Chain A
Amino acid sequence: MKKSYTAFLASLLLVAGIAFAQSPANTYVFQTFGEPVTMDPARAYDTGSGGIIENVYETLFLYDGEAIDQFVPGLATGYSVSDDGLTWTFDLREGVKFHSGNTMSCKDVAWSFKYGAVTANAEGATAYLMGHYWLGTQVDGSDKDAYLAEVTWEMIDNIVECPEGPDGLVAVVNLVNPTPALVPILTYTAFSILDSEWAIENGQWDGTEATWQDWIGRDLTAEFLHNNVSGTGAYRLVEWGTDSVVAEAFPEYWGGAPAIQNVVYQYVDEQSTRILAIQQGDADRILLNERAALNQLRGAPGVTILEEGWYPASVTAVFFNFDIDTSNNEDVGSGQLDGNGIPSDFFADVNVRRAFAHLFDQEGFVDQIYEGAGQVLTMGMPPAFLGYNPDAPVRTLDLEAAEEYFRAAFDGELWEKGFQFTALYNSGNTIRQTALEIMADNLEFINPNFRMTVRGLPWADYLARTAEKKAPMFALGWAADYADPSNFINTFYDNDGYYSARTSVNVPEIQALIDQADTVLDPGERAFLYRDIGTLHYDQVPLLAVPVQEDFMVVRDNLEGVYYNTMLSTEFYWKDIAKR
């Protein structure tokens, strides 16, 4: 008994005694959370998938380091555009190999774009981002009949032409509606170039008219491309396992061999485990759930916290509903301007919106909620985007101004009668909650007859409530798909934009500028138009932009080449980093 006990202890010590190797020098280990949903670019619309896809696949153009408005040649070396902005001719890079060994040419560009347009996956981004431009409709594939009512094979076939033949190196993209944002949009992972021969060999769409209808709205998670990758990226996918992704350098990459041989993404839900891993050197980078956790890592040997004034390409805003559905709506009280509720057009009055904007303490929010690590926004767009107007004035806490605007609203009737309503946020999102509560608290000082309550709803209920236009005021956000102002301006301010279905936003002066900006190709001219929208944002307050919090990165100090490109799901291309 004694002997076996000793042997057990000895073996335990032996096991424990094997020193843990830190993350190997040729391997980059990233511990994060939020696993990829798919490897198919036509289906992916999440950062988990995007972080892998943007490194194993490539698009026609790539981001240039930190710059989000600079694009460098990727699989295209250059392009020209017709005067009407409808015909874009891309020169493709010569000698690019896919991971399968096939050579990239125009047929791959054509197949990839057409595959995205045909599958039009409702959970993907192709129909939403490009449908309007290359088919004239954003209809997705979830309703096949509706799709077929608007889309024909001729329209699909027209999307890309190969004037030099399928194996040529010129691809012509035909649009039916012009957009100045085509290059930024096509740099999004949804428009990655796939290996058509390899895909067809493995049972994917054969690219012909005979079968295209079979692929409309097909469940792509059951398809080969969901799990398998043959891209042109600097890394090839080795394994997408239960809780990790492993990739290795692609020796035939056109841009030369990257410094890091292996990349391992480990999906670790428990934050404390990730923190210990970076301290131990088992991870080269970790993702934290919240900024407060940084305090556990400050001063940790071997760990570097990068805080270099980076801001994410996302905006959180408080939205005003211009046309509230007041029927059976507990959040608007009586639904009348009688002191016990609000009418449906409550926020259509610009003075009401202006007054609410003066209830929010912008600088105070940055100082107290973000502990100084934040930035006030002058409009509903990230500061790094083209046309952001840093000089536009910002309405901030000013109770006298708020009172003045409230007195002017509804020709003075509002001030006399008072109002009450409920503003909404999704439970658990403390930033959104706090923003609304600040306004509710300050409102009490204005007029005792003004009452605003704030309530949180579970995510699903919250979405339903806003979709039904029953939420009078709510806090929600948007993260950029592509680096162009239209991705925010049209989304937030356009009366036909994404948020209009929840807010019925309608400011004619802004709408005129949006319509104009959509047709102008010159970036300088567009920038002016968007800057004007920034100025009008101050005057018309269609929404209230909440300050943005500074972003950070936690890495081991031997990791080199790290930069922050807010448009990339994983902030930098793996091929650009190295380890000392």
Chain B
Amino acid sequence: MFSFIVRRLLLLPVVFVGVTLAIVLLMQLLTPYQRAAAYVQSEQQIRQIPAIIEQFGLEDPWYMQYGRWLGQVFEGNLGYSRTSREPVLTTLQRRFPVTLELALIAIIPVLGVGITMGTAAALNRDRFFDQFTRVVSVIGWSLPTFVLGIWLLVIFYGWLGWFQPGRISTRFAVELAGASGFTSYTRMLTIDSLLNGRLDIFLDALKHMVLPVVTLAVVQSAQIMRVMRSSLLDALGQDYVRTARAKGLPDRVVTRKHARRNALIPVITLSGFVLIGLINGVVITETIFNYPGLGQWAAAAATNLDYASVLGFAIFTAMMVVFANLLVDVLYGIVDPRIRYE
């Protein structure tokens, strides 16, 4: 197991170089002037373009620019994010917990709904519930996030006034800004508020997460639902399930202990990627609900051609994918005793 983990971790530098090199080369398709112009926001600032090219060495060959950036990275400096006007590393540290908090809360309904409905659909194959879940999953999977997000916002914020966008209500935002009495231990508002004994802030933060979580859950659980259904159907047709039934075990035990456990293996694989997808793919959701996480920042950085931020985000994403893969592989071994790493 240990050597397996080490081997997987050795992949990291390869992924790192591959991803960053691809982005650097892609950026070279733009002329230095084009890249410098991304810094310019008004007609007044046009005159600064030559200075910007000079300052950032945008006319240097790509390998020099890449080498310069790589040198910084080895010194622990991922560069400066123009979008968040602070070092990229600081932004990642600040925004990642926000997105992670959202993703961790969202994964609960995503898996809960996906596995439950997928199981029920498989057990009721070709009956009404099965057809219903199929339709629901197709709708959920094909519904554009921004459409669903805006609908939810209009209904639950605009009409009913139940749930606000943003991360926290203004009155708490004002209270917390510069307040010395509230300690941010994890940068996750729900956890920090509980650790500070502020149930009102905890409920407020939770309430602000409802709409983005529902948006993410509707889209992502559809995928889990489909995989769970087909995987369970496959498992239910296996010999060991027939044997279990022949032994006279009750249906419930056969399904839960024998079929579903095995059917969960592909779901585990998928859920690792769903979590990564939730963390890295919440761009639209965070933008619509004005949720200040990684996705919102990455979207703005890409629009601004913010070189350092895009690279920083890409590295972070690549690392997340490698680690998620590793985690899923390790989980395999726990769920499925047949899998060994030697």
List chain A positions with a Cβ less than 8 A from chain B: 12, 14-16, 18, 20-21, 23-24, 27, 29, 35-38, 45-46, 122-123, 125, 128, 140, 142-143, 221-222, 226, 238-239, 241-244, 246, 248, 262, 264, 266, 268-270, 272-273, 276-277, 279-280, 282, 458-461, 463-464, 467, 476-479, 481, 498, 501
B9 contacts A by Cβ under 8 Å = no
Q: In whole angstroms, how far apart are the Cα atoms of A242 and B178 in the complex?
A: 13
Q: Which of B148-171 contact A (CB under 8 A)?
A: 150, 153-154, 157-158, 161-166, 169-171
B85 contacts A by Cβ under 8 Å = yes
Q: Which of B197-255 contact A (CB under 8 A)?
A: 203-204, 206-207, 210
Q: Which of B21-64 contact A (CB under 8 A)?
A: 30-31, 33-52, 54-55
Task: Say how far B82's CB is from chain A's closest CB, in angstroms.
Answer: 8
B54 and A143 contact, CB distance less than 8 A: yes
B46 and A463 contact, CB distance less than 8 A: yes
Nearest-CB residue, chain B, relative to A15: B207
A270 and B287 contact, CB distance less than 8 A: yes
Q: In whole angstroms, how far apart are the Cα atoms of A342 and B323 in the complex?
A: 61
Q: A24-B171, A142-B55 are in contact. Are A273 and B210 (CB under 8 A)?
A: no
Q: A18-B203, A239-B177 are in contact. Are A273 and B153 (CB under 8 A)?
A: yes
Point out the residues of chain A lying under 8 angstroms from B139, CB to CB: none
Task: Say how far B326's CB is from chain A's closest CB, in angstroms.
Answer: 30
Nearest-CB residue, chain A, relative to B94: A242
| Among A16, A243, A459: residue with most chain B CB under 10 A | A243
Pick from A16, A238, A272: contact of B163, CB under 8 Å: A16
Q: In whole angstroms, how far apart are the Cα atoms of A145 and B342 in the complex?
A: 64
Nearest-CB residue, chain A, relative to B41: A46
Pick from A21, A242, A264, A467: contact of B46, CB under 8 Å: A467
Nearest-CB residue, chain A, relative to B95: A242
Point out the residues of chain A lying under 8 angstroms from B154, CB to CB: 272, 276
Task: Say how far B99's CB is from chain A's closest CB, in angstroms.
Answer: 11
Q: A221-B80, A239-B177 are in contact. Are A38 and B55 (CB under 8 A)?
A: no
Task: Say how far A94's CB is from chain B's closest CB, in angstroms.
Answer: 30
Q: A226-B85, A460-B33 are in contact. Are A27 and B174 (CB under 8 A)?
A: yes
B164 and A20 contact, CB distance less than 8 A: yes
Pick from B46, B80, B288: contact of A270, CB under 8 Å: B288
Leading 5 A-B pairs by shortest Cβ distance: A142-B51, A460-B37, A460-B34, A239-B177, A246-B177
Pick from A243, A269, A461, A501: contact of B34, CB under 8 Å: A461
Q: In whole angstroms, how far apart are the Cα atoms of A478 and B46 in the complex?
A: 11
Q: Which of B285-323 contact A (CB under 8 A)?
A: 287-290, 292, 296, 300
B173 and A244 contact, CB distance less than 8 A: yes
Point out the residues of chain A lying under 8 angstroms from B174, CB to CB: 24, 27, 246, 248, 262, 264
Task: Say how far B119's CB is from chain A's closest CB, in angstroms.
Answer: 14
B65 contacts A by Cβ under 8 Å = no
Point out the residues of chain A lying under 8 angstroms from B158, CB to CB: 276, 279-280
Nearest-CB residue, chain A, relative to B54: A142
Q: A272-B153, A273-B288 are in contact. Are A463 and B37 (CB under 8 A)?
A: yes
Pick from A140, A222, A464: contact of B31, CB under 8 Å: A464
A–B pairs, 30, beta carbons within 8 Å: A15-B203, A16-B207, A18-B203, A21-B171, A27-B170, A45-B42, A122-B51, A122-B55, A140-B51, A142-B48, A142-B51, A142-B54, A242-B95, A243-B290, A244-B173, A246-B174, A264-B174, A266-B290, A270-B290, A273-B153, A273-B288, A273-B289, A276-B157, A279-B158, A460-B35, A460-B36, A461-B34, A463-B33, A467-B46, A476-B43
Q: In whole angstroms, how far apart are the Cα atoms of A62 and B328 in the complex?
A: 62
For the complex with contacts A222-B80, A467-B46, 9 further pairs of A-B residues with Cβ separation under 8 Å are A20-B161, A20-B169, A143-B51, A143-B54, A266-B170, A268-B290, A273-B153, A273-B289, A279-B158
Q: In whole angstroms, how far apart are the Cα atoms of A243 and B203 in the complex?
A: 21
Pick from B39, B95, B288: contact of A123, CB under 8 Å: B39
Point out the residues of chain B lying under 8 angstroms from A467, CB to CB: 46, 49
Q: A23-B170, A46-B41, A238-B177 are in contact. Are A277 and B165 (CB under 8 A)?
A: yes
Task: Say how far A269's CB is from chain B's closest CB, in angstroms.
Answer: 6
Point out the residues of chain A lying under 8 angstroms from B80, CB to CB: 221-222
A268 and B94 contact, CB distance less than 8 A: no
Q: In whole angstroms, how far apart are the Cα atoms of A544 and B173 in the complex?
A: 48
B178 and A282 contact, CB distance less than 8 A: no
A264 and B170 contact, CB distance less than 8 A: yes
Point out the residues of chain A lying under 8 angstroms from B325, CB to CB: none
Point out the residues of chain B lying under 8 angstroms from A242, CB to CB: 84, 94-95, 98, 292
Q: In whole angstroms, how far apart are the Cα atoms of A478 and B44 in the complex?
A: 7
Task: Say how far A548's CB is from chain B's closest CB, in angstroms.
Answer: 15
Point out the residues of chain B lying under 8 angstroms from A464, CB to CB: 31, 33-34, 37
Point out the residues of chain B lying under 8 angstroms from A476, CB to CB: 43
Q: In whole angstroms, how far apart are the Cα atoms of A262 and B154 in the complex?
A: 28
Nearest-CB residue, chain A, relative to B207: A15
Task: Say how far A429's CB is from chain B's closest CB, in angstroms.
Answer: 12
Point out the residues of chain A lying under 8 angstroms from B54, CB to CB: 142-143
